[in-house]
Structure 1
């Protein structure tokens, strides 16, 4: 029998035809023979295919050599840069230093030695420093321009009504705007659907005869909170249809926590920026109440009682959420600023400042977008900036800002670099204005005028649209924008031409107008609904007029048969002669007396056999019946 062996198959079968060295149970040749055969086979494949190597070999690292290279690199970095050194020397040194490391990493053909060299300009350090300073100045100026950039190159006007616009809001996406006024109207504006005429697509009165004080869209933009002078707040959808109305409170209960709703007129309100179904309202009863949309306004969710320093209630005239929706800032009528955190307690404020302003109504209070600053606006003609982390003293203050309306706005710019506030028109001035101040220095950056003879009340600077909306005292909403840096919004409307009503120019038939034509051929002119209704009212059939009452018998229901029941019966019996109702009945009977006497028909034939002597002739002279009676019993003749 042949002995079964296992060996390595090689390309050279003649050399590997020697006797096997292993036995059953051993696989392959010894280790030394295997290594030699691998090297020999790899060399033969390289020669046949013309390949120098099959890839990179594993590098071997020497710790001492690496440490020396690190030290040399550190010395070169700390040395003064050689600026006047020729390019050839530096490139040769770089090539020498990196030759050992990059030999194995080179890909492609080598660089030709005859390649032209690029000259290098030598400069002095002072020149470089000056250039660097100029670049820094340019960068600073660009940053300053970006911080103080105002989109005010163009403006347009939207007409809300004839009275002051006291409420203004834009939804989060920037697709719609809502404005409210003291004339009880709320107008809805859709930027995508408007043309250059800038007309609102819907105007309604959600709160009947109550002026609109505040409007605010939810974070998703599908709901709108309407705050009016009534005790009940309303939530409507994007098209103005009512979705919720808060409950009224019991005004005879002293403890406001025991009532389900507000007991006095509302002052302000806002949706939670993070929780879309939560919103808050403030009232003259001294409370701030939070509501849940899904509870249908049947009862408030939480309540805050704002107190003055003497313990009496203080009406929160302005309120705002921070960006997380966790802290509520209240500006009260006693001039105090109170910060409430529901995560801690709703009994006492987390922070407060009693004399932030004079004891008058605070018109606006808003957090910065970062959340560490607070701006307040008051009827004492001041604008103040506060640090939320320390409310002991204001950071900046501006005075002399007249505010006629108690809803005058003060907001931050989208990048928090500026503070914007509205200023009303004083006596002798031609128009109100919107002032823009630098947040750090409170220096005036820009003063934007409003319409002539009008106050500036509401301001809204939308971050996505980069447009400034201003509500004026003459019923106009003015919008400032920049065609290059403002997106969507009003820029979509001003480029659309006004769409006119399309009139049909195709005439089906030739019309000849003849004023004296017959009624049969006369074309009826189209009348309005009111004229048609008046015409139908005169028609007894269409108006279903009841039957007229019966008068003298002429023109009534039984005029042909007379006005009495007897005449009606006679006519139905078929008598040919007409009975005259105006004739005397006695004369009508006596007219047939002679005929009845000569030719009796009704009475005489009935009594002819029983009573030969007529009984009707009693009491006449010559009769013997009364002869035996006394004189006093005789009938008088």
Structure 2
């Protein structure tokens, strides 16, 4: 303590409070320090510290052990983590576009969260948009269902496929706008081949490995349907799986499906799992009336096989069943499993629990009910690494992005975790932690923000169907009478009047519906005379349709009048009539 009564701690606090220099300061960020703060602290790290604290006699063995530890750490991208908490309930699916900049997560809270990894910082980790798949119009009150699966095509990042607990698949743009809603089938038709869509909820889907316009869906109506993104009113092909289980009447629920590249051939192969325990494989190009391979007892009957994946070379298939087993199959000997291992299942509570091959098919990654991430060896199915991600909360979904080389996991506590390694990974979470933190502002909190357009009217924000939440609807949906006259017209003279919605207008089909659902509907706008004259033969050509009458066509004989006056008089009488 000095003579003025201040201690050294007070001097240090004053030094931090008062600036040491004036003028423009260097605002550079210490990237290494920020990345180090994201390093994961696990029980293995503590054990390693205790082991390092023990004295060692041989210095050479110490150096060898350090090298081995570094090799093990750099083998998988799990040394660091980034936590994203944007959902209130369990995260059931995670999808990323091919570039790895756009991430979409689905949850049991019936909402989609869109994240831009290239624009995030450590202080602005949030979703830039929330989408309710069932609310397509402002102030619409629609029912909500859990989100089962979200998938980007491997060749297109402009749109993603969304599968919910309904019988209709939906395609959204990368910005969360609804593009297509595919047709629902007629549930009263017994023959599933004659329906134009699924008659009960869809459980799983998969994109074609090379064609960006095709995808396949599997439903609880015992069918697998192949769709074209440009034709939403009817599927392209229907595959009806006939179950051989006793008491099922030939019907069962399809629980998982995957469309992968075949070892031989360009069409790939479609592999699906069913609730009766069977595993079925079809050729990607058809024919689909008979499967190319079928295993009746792949897993236990009446257990939900939610995890299914095909290796990148098309030779191996991995399944995670509800009978607490993981099995590896060879497509060239599709009869018995190559390997089987015990693994506790979470599919009874979370049907979307999945299992995935690594991008180079040298590892298998899946979660567990204890919240651990398991990385298995495909040859023996033995764990090469078991690391805790959300201890005490089941790990539901996993996704290993090939370009980023990062593992994305979703847990039952609503947390999305990104595992990465600065030496092996690129972009993604590494870009987030390498940016300077953004200063907090009042506008960063969506509770205190109102989106306004230049005309002063409330903009259209996300509508969650009236459910509470910080983003449960825009200002216009919460205050529908603000900015309107007593008759309901807008006070802004530059905004056109919206016509009243009458029951007749709601029931009248629009032009797009007629064009897609009614065959040859384009002929309504065609001139019939022009349509017939386009088949008329030109001079010197042979008549295609009327050439048969050229020889025996009778000649017209008309009455001859004596004078022109008589003809004019007859014509005048005809006009009076």
TM range (shorter): 0.5 to 0.7
d(CA) in 2 for partners of 1:235, 1:535: 33
Deviation at 1:153, TM superposition (A): 0.8
1:339 aligned residue? 281
1:97 aligned residue? none
1:215 aligned residue? 150
d(CA) in 2 for partners of 1:532, 1:246: 33
Q: TM-score, normalised on structure 1?
A: 0.55
2:437 aligned residue? 498
Name the SS for the 2:431 alignment partner: helix
2:498 aligned residue? none
Deviation at 1:340, TM superposition (A): 0.7
What do residues 9-57 of structure 1 show as CA deviations (whole Å, max 9, x unaligned)?
Answer: xxxxxxxxxxxxxxxxxxxxxxxxxxxxxxxxxxxxxxxxxxxxxxxxx
What do residues 368-415 of structure 1 show as CA deviations (whole Å, max 9, x unaligned)?
Answer: 112100000111111111111112211111114231411111111122
1:341-490 mapped onto 2 (5 Å cutoff): 341-359=283-301, 360-403=303-346, 404-425=349-370, 432-490=371-429
Name the SS for the 2:430 alignment partner: helix
Deviation at 1:161, TM superposition (A): 1.1
Query: Are 1:192 and 2:107 matched, yes or no?
Result: no
Q: Is the 2:73–2:79 Cα contact (8 Å) retained in structure 1?
A: no
The one of 94, 98, 106 equivalent to 1:172 is 98
2:237 aligned residue? 302
Cα distance change of structure 1 residues 148 and 442 upon mapping to structure 2, 3 Å threshold? farther
d(CA) in 1 for partners of 2:173, 2:188: 33
d(CA) in 1 for partners of 2:312, 2:83: 28
Cα distance change of structure 1 residues 381 and 207 upon mapping to structure 2, 3 Å threshold? farther
d(CA) in 2 for partners of 1:203, 1:268: 22
Name the SS for the 1:294 alignment partner: coil
1:201 aligned residue? 128
Query: If you compute each CA radius of gyration, which structure gives the higher value, 1 or 2?
Result: 1
2:182 aligned residue? 246
Q: Is the 1:160–1:179 Cα contact (8 Å) retained in structure 2?
A: no
Deviation at 1:452, TM superposition (A): 3.7
d(CA) in 2 for partners of 1:298, 1:535: 39
1:272 aligned residue? 208
Consecutive unaligned residues of structure 2, counting only runs of 5 or more, are: 1-63, 136-143, 444-474, 492-577
Query: Are 1:181 and 2:107 matched, yes or no?
Result: yes
Cα distance change of structure 1 residues 348 and 481 upon mapping to structure 2, 3 Å threshold? same
2:84 aligned residue? 158
d(CA) in 1 for partners of 2:270, 2:310: 10
d(CA) in 2 for partners of 1:146, 1:373: 26
Q: TM-score, normalised on structure 2?
A: 0.60
Calculate the aligned-residue CA RMSD, in Å: 3.1
What do residues 521-565 of structure 1 show as CA deviations (whole Å, max 9, x unaligned)?
Answer: xxxxxxx9999999999x9xx999xxxxxxxxxxxxxxxxxxxxx
What do residues 441-479 of structure 1 show as CA deviations (whole Å, max 9, x unaligned)?
Answer: 222111121224311000001111010000100111011
Higher relative contact order (CA 8 A, sep 6+): 2
What do residues 161-206 of structure 1 show as CA deviations (whole Å, max 9, x unaligned)?
Answer: 1100111111122121110011110011111111113211111111
d(CA) in 2 for partners of 1:315, 1:148: 42
What do residues 208-227 of structure 1 show as CA deviations (whole Å, max 9, x unaligned)?
Answer: 50110001001211110000
d(CA) in 2 for partners of 1:317, 1:236: 23
Q: Is the 1:306–1:315 Cα contact (8 Å) retained in structure 2?
A: no
d(CA) in 2 for partners of 1:472, 1:200: 17
How many residues align structurally?
Answer: 372
